[in-house]
Amino acid sequence: MTLEMKNIASLVHSREFEELNRMFKKFNPLKVLRMDSHEIRHSNVLAWLLDHEENHGLNSVFIEKLISKLLMKPDNNDFITDSEFFLKVLSLKFSDWKVEREKQTSKKRYIDLLLSSEENKTVIIIENKFYSSQSKNQLADYLEFVENEFPGYKIIPVFLTLLDEESANDSYWTLKYADIASVIEFILQFYKESISEEVFVFLKNYLAVLHERFAPDPERLLLAEGIFENHGEAITYLYLLNNPGIKFLNHHQTFKQQLQKLTFTEEAWMKKIYQSSKETIDFIYSEGSLTLKKAFERFVEEDNQKIVSRNDASKSYPSFTHPEWEQHSEFLEMLNDKAPYWLKLGLIVFMHRAGNHLKLIIEVGNLEYGIRLKLLEKLEENSFSIKPSSKSSNSMYTRIFTDQVEVKDWSSIDQIHEAITQLTTSVEFENNLQRVNQSLQAQSAEMNKVGVSS
């Protein structure tokens, strides 16, 4: 194990590891209080920020920016039915909002956060899902209770999630802790003069907790990627030795054999290093390996353009288009000017990690409105379910197919590659892809017919 000991020493004494380790070890009183690991404490912070009468000095800035985030998120486009609704929500008044914590329902359930405004005739439900799972009918019960308690009010139910978990109820809007972090960053940058030094320091510390736990900042991710690339074996040895509860898989066998040969002194030294830098090593192991990117690159190489044409091996959101879609690029490249889109084609297949699952999505992007509307209609004719709100001129993105598979070990390129293969060769994906292609052919034929007749 002499070589492994030297590799671990090289890791620990590297400049990059020292820099990242200092970020995680920086004093933060909120981490001392262990508030980063408890859902209820995050709900308390949010309730404080959302209440315009609280002592943070922000008045209604936080709730205004958070509602703006909700409206702008592509995941919520289907809830924005028209411009009138969009402008009405964006223009809500904030002088009388009441914020309640752990609001008990008639069925003895507790709503994490309930915001209500008599002046706006609007109620916002926020269900804060940390590591806890959704209970059966929980979200539907919240809606039923609020509808009975606030008859005639506009209800905006929000599902706040940590790990891209999807709401079990389609009526809930999506919000992520990365969005909370973004709003706090905005406040710290532009409202520093409006708040006390104590509040500024508290929000800065809370933002650091969010970056570590929920929304790692790009600087940490880049450092983790570089460290894993140069010291991946050392990180893996340290992680596997100190997490005996995880299942050893095929690609761990070499590490397992070496770990079994450790002397008492070597094992004690490695455990001491891990305990002194646990957060840093865990972060590098889980976030720095670029395994999704590398597994996707292998998938593209092996595919040989059978189902992949344009592609982007992004670290977090790899994507591709189907070769047949190139035949329809004349109208699929007609994107509107509201936002850039993935691979400059208004139709995409992309993947991303959602907790312990790999998720695959087919999405219609921000095509020019007439083209987009016609494509959605053709998709409907081929048995896709399209919400009416997706056909509005304000809607930009519509997901028409979603599937996911579990990945037991995200450090394994082989396992992630197997998951990608499983998703892209499933009967469901192939059937949906075929119906997409039929829809494109029908739209092309119709457009050609119009062109000839004119």
- Whether residue 386 sits in one domain with residue 338: yes
- Whether residue 131 sits in one domain with residue 110: yes
Q: How many CB atoms lie within 10 A of CB 364?
A: 24
Phi and psi at residue 51, in whole multiples of 5°? Answer: -85, 115
The domain boundary, picked from 264, 287, 310, lies at: 287
What is the side-by-side order of every strand in the sheet holding 311-312? 311-312, 319-320, 347-354, 357-364, 398-406
- Whether residue 220 sits in one domain with residue 209: no
- Whether residue 435 sits in one domain with residue 319: yes
Q: Quick one: pLDDT at residue 452? A: 41
- Whether residue 117 sits in one domain with residue 233: no
Provide the angle, in degrees to the nearest 10, between the axes of the packed helices 218-242 and 2-12: 150
Which among 174, 173, 125 has a CA at the least distance from the CA of 149? 125
Instruction: List pLDDT tens digits, range 309-322.
Output: 999 998 788 999 99
- Whether residue 231 sits in one domain with residue 206: no
Structure letter (DSSP) for residue 245: T
- Whether residue 42 sits in one domain with residue 64: yes
- Whether residue 162 sits in one domain with residue 282: no
- pLDDT averaged over consecutive 10-residue blocks of the chain (454 residues)? 82 96 90 78 93 94 93 83 80 90 91 94 89 74 95 94 77 91 95 94 93 76 87 91 75 82 93 95 85 91 86 89 93 80 89 87 92 94 88 85 89 89 96 96 86 47
State how many domains the chain has: 3
* Spatial separation of the C-alpha atoms in residues 402 and 387, rounded to whole Å: 15
- Whether residue 369 sits in one domain with residue 222: no
Pairing of strands 319-320, 347-354: antiparallel
Which among 356, 364, 351, 341 has a CA at the least distance from the CA of 406? 356
The domain boundary, picked from 196, 213, 230, lies at: 213
Which among 365, 334, 337 has a CA at the least distance from the CA of 349? 365
* Spatial separation of the C-alpha atoms in residues 169 and 167, rounded to whole Å: 5
- Whether residue 327 sits in one domain with residue 267: no
Q: Quick one: pLDDT at residue 195? A: 95
- Whether residue 60 sits in one domain with residue 207: yes
Q: Quick one: pLDDT at residue 133? A: 61
The domain boundary, picked from 245, 265, 287, lies at: 287
Q: How many CB atoms lie within 10 A of CB 291?
A: 22
Q: Which domain holds residue 15?
A: 2-26+216-287
* Spatial separation of the C-alpha atoms in residues 297 and 284, rounded to whole Å: 21
- Whether residue 273 sits in one domain with residue 395: no
